[in-house]
Amino acid sequence: MARTALVTGASAGIGERFAHRLAEAGYDLILTARREDRLNALAQTLSERFAARCTVIPTDLAEPAQVQSLLDRLDRDDLQVDFLVNNAGFAARTSLVASDWATLQREIQVMVSAPTELMIRLGQRMVERGYGNIVNVASLAAFAPPPSGMLYTGIKRYLLDVSQSADMEFRRSGVRVTALCPGFTYTEFHDVQGTREQVSRLPGIFWQDADAVARIGLQAALAGKAVCVPGRFNRVLAAVCDALPAFARYQLGRRGRIY
Ligand SMILES: NC(=O)c1ccc[n+]([C@@H]2O[C@H](COP(=O)([O-])OP(=O)(O)OC[C@H]3O[C@@H](n4cnc5c(N)ncnc54)[C@H](OP(=O)(O)O)[C@@H]3O)[C@@H](O)[C@H]2O)c1
């Protein structure tokens, strides 16, 4: 019987490519994001190309009630999740002083509360069954010095740490949790953030293809890796950042931000 994967943020970028790679690997898919038209088009492509059975559940993860509705729908339709990809995300651009609380709250809900709730509630069921995979899409930013006035790096650091804590506990029951930490990736992320012009000045060595990130992330998850930084250049950056003493991280962070 085919196993089923739930991908959040499947309407674009890394999530959409993850859905392709999972379908290619034989998984049926539960696709979620806000843009239903894109999810329906993706579902059609995946069913035609890979014969994957796809269920589309439009959800705004910034609304806690909609996260609950997503979980209720899985129960009601008896949809078992064997592979969870907590991928949906965005970064607010404005400074903390200039931000309205509602925007920051959405960032925390979409990238902290929702993935944590899905990881724990669906992870508990995987532990009961004795198998399963969870990928939390963090970021290379989790290793980077924290820049001035942003929640994003702290949020991604949280995801990196909590993924490892969950993996240490769940692995005893045959369930693995992988923190996937991509560097700069060609997706809609920087258009949504409004930093496309700024980041496009970065040399090509910094950039990766969304499909490569998804492929490497899926391989790492199936191999049971707790942390995956795709790309040799990114792994060197992560190692260098990890080795920095706290005062150097702070001073580097103060010098400017590129996210
Ligand atoms: N691109 C990069 O350089 C990069 C680097 C490191 C890590 N990441 C991480 O990778 C993940 C995927 O980002 P991406 O680069 O693929 O960006 P993207 O192309 O902008 O895709 C973001 C996805 O998240 C979904 N999403 C955003 N807000 C949502 C909400 N409130 N409710 C439900 N879904 C929501 C979007 O769907 P809808 O708009 O249809 O809801 C979309 O499918 C994020 O967690 C990001 O932090 C990206």
Mutational test site, ligand 1, from 106, 189, 234, 258, max ligand atoms within 8 Å of CB: 189
What residues contact 258, with CB distance under 8 A and at least 6 apart? 147, 198, 199, 202
Token pair recorded at residue 165: 């804590």
Calculate the alpha carbon distances from 39 to 15, 35, 36, 44, 215 in Å: 11, 7, 5, 9, 20
Q: What is the pLDDT of residues 212-223, one digit of tens each?
A: 999 999 999 999
Cα dihedral value 14, 18, 19, 24, nearest 10: 140
**How do residues 128-155 score in pLDDT, each as one tens digit?**
999 999 999 999 999 999 999 999 999 9
pLDDT of residue 230: 98
Residue owning the nearest CA to atom 47 of ligand 1? 89
- 90 Cβ inside 6 Å of ligand 1: yes
Query: What's the Cα-to-Cα distance from 78 to each of 4, 20, 36, rounded to whole Å?
Result: 11, 23, 21
Task: DSSP for 155-195, please give it.
Answer: HHHHHHHHHHHHHHHHGGGTEEEEEE---EEESSHHHHHT-
Q: How far is CA 151 from CA 31, 94, 143, in A?
A: 27, 10, 14
Q: What length is written for the chain? A: 259
Over the chain (259 residues), what is each successive 10-residue block's mean pLDDT? 94 98 98 98 98 98 98 98 98 88 96 98 98 98 93 97 98 98 95 88 92 98 98 97 93 75
At 176, which amino acid appears? R
Tell me what pLDDT residue 259 has.
Answer: 52
Residue-level pLDDT at 197: 87
Answer for the pair 139, 150: CB distance below 8 angstroms, yes or no. Answer: no
* Predicted pLDDT at 191: 87
pLDDT score for 55: 98
Q: Are 147 and 188 in contact (CB under 8 A)?
A: no
User: All domains of the chain, ordered by start, with CATH?
Assistant: 4-254 (3.40.50.720)
DSSP state of 204: G
Query: Which pLDDT score, from 0 to 100, does residue 52 have?
Result: 98
Question: Ligand 1 within 6 A of 185 CB?
Answer: yes
